[in-house]
Amino acid sequence: MSHHIVEAMDLHYTYPDKTAALSGVSFRISHGESVALVGENGAGKSTLLLHLNGYLRATSGQVRIGDCLLTPQNLAIVRRTVGMVFQNPDDQLFMPTVFDDVAFGPLNLGLPKEEVERKVVQALETVGMAHLAKRPPYKLSQGEKRSVAIATVLAMSPDILVMDEPTSSLDPRSRRRLIELLKTFRHTKIIATHDLDMAMDLCERAIVLHQGKVTADGPIAKLFQDEGLLSRSCLEKPLRMQYCPKAVS
């Protein structure tokens, strides 16, 4: 692909129970952008992310990744380009050891064993989890699981990183470590999150979803200062932007 853009064009999606999850979502994300996808629970964030590498197929509308429309014929190409980190890391960790989990994707690409081992070691070192390579995933802490889940994606060398609530269930130290790690990923990032402070640390742009529709799209600092927009979207200002009076001694 010549340009690793992400484009949604009038996406609609209705669940089998007739619940409308997306209603005409459109946006374009350019190569190298870091974009936060924000909105209340049920706004459609996770559903939208699952359309970006073909886990869900739109009822109508299209997704373009780079030069490719997302179609069944292009699914393999798109999934090598778009790395998806799910909200629950247990959805991605299912092999006997951490090493096996991280190796799973590259092995399925048919890469030589030596190259797979190199990619696994590099990915685990990047997230600081190389010392856990032989550990069963179920014996990891939530923060360790999150880091290993990211390593499973990094081992595939994606050009676009898509993450669903990456800081959920993390303690403050693990959260800060994850933020610093994500700052090192220089390609396109799309992060669905309720953690607006984390979004400001990592993203220059925000897309606000409300009831399955894009209600705002623009510079993150400007949108997060719009109290009316945040109120209508059932969101609150990031903590750093909230007024905090000095304590009186």
Q: What is the mean pLDDT of the chain?
A: 91
What local confidence, expressed as pLDDT, does residue 47 receive? 95
Task: Please give the single-letter amino acid code of residue 90.
Answer: D
pLDDT digits 0-9 by tens, 105-143? 999 888 999 999 999 999 999 888 999 999 999 999 988
Distance of alpha carbon 211 from alpha carbon 97, whole angstroms: 40
User: Which residues, other chains included, contact 56 with Cβ-Cβ below 8 Å and sequence gap of 6+?
Assistant: 13, 47, 50
Q: Would you say residue 149 has pLDDT above 70?
A: yes
Q: Would you say residue 14 has pLDDT above 90?
A: yes
Distance of alpha carbon 68 from alpha carbon 89, whole angstroms: 28
**Helix (H) or strand (E) segment spanning residue 76:** helix 75-81
What local confidence, expressed as pLDDT, does residue 2 receive? 46
Phi, psi for residue 192 in degrees, rounded to 5: -85, 125
Under 8 Å between Cβ of 178 and 151: no
Least confidently predicted of 35-39, 101-105, 235-239: 235-239
Distance of alpha carbon 202 from alpha carbon 240, whole angstroms: 14
Phi, psi for residue 34 in degrees, rounded to 5: -115, 115
Name the DSSP letter for residue 230: H
pTM above 0.85, yes or no: yes
Q: Would you say residue 249 has pLDDT above 60?
A: no
Q: Would you say residue 148 has pLDDT above 70?
A: yes
Domains of the chain: 6-241 (3.40.50.300)
pLDDT digits 0-9 by tens, 173-232? 888 888 988 888 888 999 999 999 999 999 999 999 999 999 999 999 999 999 999 999
What local confidence, expressed as pLDDT, does residue 51 receive? 95
pLDDT classification of 145: cutoffs 50, 70, 90: very high
pLDDT digits 0-9 by tens, 55-105? 999 999 999 998 889 999 998 888 889 999 998 999 899 999 999 999 999
Distance of alpha carbon 38 from alpha carbon 233, whole angstroms: 9
pLDDT classification of 3: cutoffs 50, 70, 90: low
Name the DSSP letter for residue 234: T
**Helix (H) or strand (E) segment spanning residue 12:** strand 6-14
What local confidence, expressed as pLDDT, does residue 244 receive? 59
Under 8 Å between Cβ of 220 and 207: no
* Residue 112 in tokens: 């030589």
Torsion of CA 119, 122, 125, 126, to 10 degrees: -100
What local confidence, expressed as pLDDT, does residue 1 receive? 45
What local confidence, expressed as pLDDT, does residue 248 receive? 53
2 by Cβ neighbours in 10 Å (0-12 / 13-18 / 19+) ranks as exposed
